Amino acid sequence: MRNYLIIGALLAIFSSILSAEPSATVADNASPPVETPAMATDTPSAPDESKTTTAESTAKTTTPSAPDESKTTTEESTAKTTSAATTDAVETTTDEKSTAKTEPTTTSESKPATTTSATTSSKLVPEAVIQALKRIIKTDFDKVSITESAVKGLYEVLIGSEVVYVTDDGHYLVVGDIRDMKTGQNLTDDKRAQLRVKEIEALDEKEMIVFAPEKETKYTVNVFTDVDCPYCAKFHAEVPELNKGGVKVRYLAFPRAGVGSKTYNTMVSVWCAEDRQKAITDAKAKREIKSATCNNPVDKEYELGKRVGVSGTPAMLLSNGELVPGYVPAKQLIAFLERKSKAKSQPATDK
């Protein structure tokens, strides 16, 4: 009896083993699970030892999907488009900068003059300056020269041989000299000298009364003279001494009483005389001279004298454009001209 019980228990255990084996077989023959995006991207959890066989089977039988070419192509296209857009943006920015550099900005202060061609400065003359000058200069405005001065905000205006200044807003007119406080240089007088040199170079010596040295001419002085001026007569008495010192004297007419005066008529007679040197010597010595008329430069030289700043006689205009007013004794004048010549020949040294 006891044996039958043992055999029955063994049969029950065997039966339960047989019933469990078919389930394992079905699992081995089942088709692999379909891979989903979630399965491809999620991080796998720690492996379950009870399911190791199933996981290995799935890994072996599942073919990895090929990379999405359309996605890669799209990303590359997007990258290229972005790069092109960036390049275009850079080029556009560069073009804008280039345009900003090459296209000057016009302001009210840099409006060009439309009625004068005398502007010689690097910047255009403000319209306010031009309009202000037009209100005071009624004729020959085209002969006016306007440039920037050494002082910021002031424009230098040349009217004939006169130098004045106008503020850049056209509100103020400044008459006077500008000096460099460091060097003591008179910038305004330097400009006047430049203008006088141009006037000298335009002169025709044939229209002057000239007393030249017999030998070498070292220096030349242009003397505005009046035959009725006592100091002009005193200067003339020393002309022979000046000639010996190598100084050429060139006389220009400047009748102080003006055109039409008695002195003016006398000077016309002197310039129209056959021997001008004798005629001017006689006139200054108060000797009577023969009245004469001709095509003469007395008016022109008188106007020239006023333009270059002559206000009295004698007045000497040197070759460098410097104006020396009044009488200077011959010895002093020769020494003065020598010093000027030496200073000019010596090179400038930096301080």
Taking a C-beta distance cutoff of 8 angstroms, is the pair 196, 317 a contact? Answer: yes
CA dihedral 107, 113, 114, 119 (to 10 degrees): -150
Residue linked to tokens 């023969």: 290
Q: Active site residue: 192, 196, 228, 229, which one?
A: 229
Cα–Cα distance between 224 and 300 in angstroms, integer? 12
Rounded distance, CA 203 to CA 200, Å?
5
Task: Kindly calculate the radius of gyration of the chain based on its CA atoms and give it in whole angstroms.
Answer: 54
272 is annotated as an active-site residue: no
3-state SS, residue 148:
strand
Q: What is the DSSP string of 84-113?
A: HHHHHHHHHHHHHHHHHHHSPPP-GGGPPP
135 carries an active-site annotation? no
Instruction: Give the Cα separation of 84 and 16 in Å (integer).
Output: 73
The sheet with strand 145-148 has its strands ordered as 145-148, 154-159, 162-167, 173-174
Asked if residues 129 and 116 have their Cβ atoms less than 8 Å apart, the reply is no
Residues in the chain: 351
Q: Is 232 a catalytic residue?
A: yes
Token output for 193:
């000298």
User: Looking at this protein, which amino acid is placed at residue 195?
Assistant: L
- Kindly report the CA angle at 292 between 262 and 316, in degrees rounded to 5? 60
Catalytic (active site) residue 192: no
Determine the Cα–Cα distance for residues 212 and 218; give it in Å rounded to an integer: 10
Distance, in Å, from the CA atom of 302 to the CA atom of 255, rounded to the nearest integer, reads 7
β-strand partners of 219: 247
Contacts of 215 (CB under 8 A, 6+ apart): 246
Q: Which residue has the tokens 């001419």?
A: 217
> Which entry of 232, 276, 282, 307 is annotated as an active-site residue?
232
Catalytic residue among 256, 275, 307, 339: 256
- Choose, from 192, 196, 226, 250, the residue flagged as catalytic: 226
Show which residues are catalytic: 226, 229, 232, 256
